[in-house]
């Protein structure tokens, strides 16, 4: 009931019953905000049409817990007035790059975005990101699945690093247009139970020419437990190398 209602709400928000397959335009709002370069080389319509066949993985599926659904629903609400933007997610890195999305190049068919590498729903990284432009803040709702185990019953530190890197990297990418993580320093404060839901909350603290300085906290939904905190530096270069 709740879940179906939410998916319905999502579809209505996107204004299309096939929103599962094609949410990015509505979700991103103004793509020029996200991608500060390259957009002029192809027509806007062509760029949009490339997303049509792509499956968006940042939408609810049956593996999402009630906690994950509730949080997702809360963030969708906050998207209504434009304060937050839902960020779509694909299973190939190339599909996030304007002008290259939907590419059929042979080599790119074989590669996967690391966090979307597991085909079964719920076993690996289940996550959805939301961006707040005025705060230059990217929040990722993250539900680690059973295949991310490190200590028995808890998420592997590398998986935590991966979700932090991706959230911080996406934040830098949205703010700076291009981004490559140059440095990431993580303090692990409290283990993350598999199947729980945490908030990976990152923001840009400072931009100095090509350097983007970011900080990030991973907390339980109620905010009471600090699981990890990180600082990072992204360089706004190299992504298209
Ligand atoms: C949609 C999906 C989003 C997913 C996001 C995922 C994000 C990622 O995982 S990225 C992958 C992991 N990162 C990498 O592989 C990066 C590997 N490193 C590199 O390619 C290069 O070192 C790169 C591009 C970061 C920097 O190289 P380059 O552009 O030549 O910079 P360089 O000229 O050496 O340094 C520029 C400045 O940055 C500083 N800097 C460079 N590296 C670092 C570092 N590791 N730590 C701190 N500062 C650094 C330098 O000191 C220099 O500062 P200044 O100008 O004041 O002297």
Q: How far, in Å, is the centroid of ligand 1 from the Cα of 29? A: 29
CA separation, residue 42 to residues 35, 48, 210 (Å): 13, 10, 25
| Mean pLDDT rounded to a whole number for the chain | 83
Output the six-digit token pair for 227.
Answer: 């699981």
- Which positions ≥6 away from 107 have C-beta within 8 Å? none
CB-defined site of ligand 1, < 6 Å: 93, 96, 165-166, 169-170, 173, 180-183, 211, 233, 235, 237-238
Among candidate residues 165, 201, 205, 234, the one labeled active-site is: 165
10 C-alpha to ligand 1 centroid (Å)? 37
User: What are the tens digits of pLDDT across the range 142-172?
Assistant: 999 999 999 999 999 999 999 999 999 999 9
25 has a pLDDT exceeding 60: no
Give residue 239's pLDDT band: very low, low, confident or very high (50, 70, 90).
Answer: very low
* Residue 165: active-site member: yes
Q: What is the mean pLDDT of residues 7-22?
A: 38
Q: What is the distance between the alpha carbons of residues 167 and 148, in angstroms, rounded to a whole number?
A: 17
Residue 47 has pLDDT above 80, yes or no: no
Tens of pLDDT along 97-142?
777 777 777 777 789 999 999 999 999 999 999 999 999 999 999 9
**Comparing C-alpha atoms, which of 241, 240, 239, 140 is closest to residue 192?**
140
Considering the entire predicted model, what is its pTM?
0.81
Query: What is the number of the ligand 1 atom nearest to the C-alpha of 209?
Result: 55
């Amino acid at each position: 009931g709740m879940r179906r209602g939410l998916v319905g709400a999502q579809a209505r928000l996107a204004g299309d019953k096939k929103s599962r397959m094609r949410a990015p335009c509505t979700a991103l709002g103004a793509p020029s905000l996200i991608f500060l370069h390259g957009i002029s080389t192809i027509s806007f319509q062509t760029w949009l049409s490339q997303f049509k066949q792509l499956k968006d993985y940042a939408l609810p599926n049956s593996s999402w817990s009630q906690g994950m659904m509730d949080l997702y629903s809360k963030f969708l609400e906050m998207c209504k007035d434009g304060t937050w933007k839902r960020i779509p997610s694909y299973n190939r890195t190339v599909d996030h790059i304007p002008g290259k999305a939907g590419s059929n190049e042979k080599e790119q068919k074989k590669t996967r975005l690391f966090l979307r590498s597991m085909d079964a729903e719920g076993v690996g990284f289940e996550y959805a990101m939301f961006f707040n432009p005025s705060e230059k803040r990217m929040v990722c709702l993250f539900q680690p699945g059973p295949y991310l185990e490190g200590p028995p019953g808890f998420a592997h530190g590398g998986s935590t690093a991966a979700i932090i890197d991706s959230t911080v990297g996406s934040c830098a990418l949205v703010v700076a247009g291009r981004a490559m993580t140059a440095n990431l320093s993580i303090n692990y404060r409290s283990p993350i139970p598999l199947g729980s839901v945490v908030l990976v909350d990152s923001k840009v603290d400072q931009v100095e020419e090509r350097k983007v300085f970011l900080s990030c906290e991973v907390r339980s939904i109620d905010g009471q437990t600090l699981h990890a905190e990180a600082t990072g530096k992204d360089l706004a270069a190299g992504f298209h190398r």
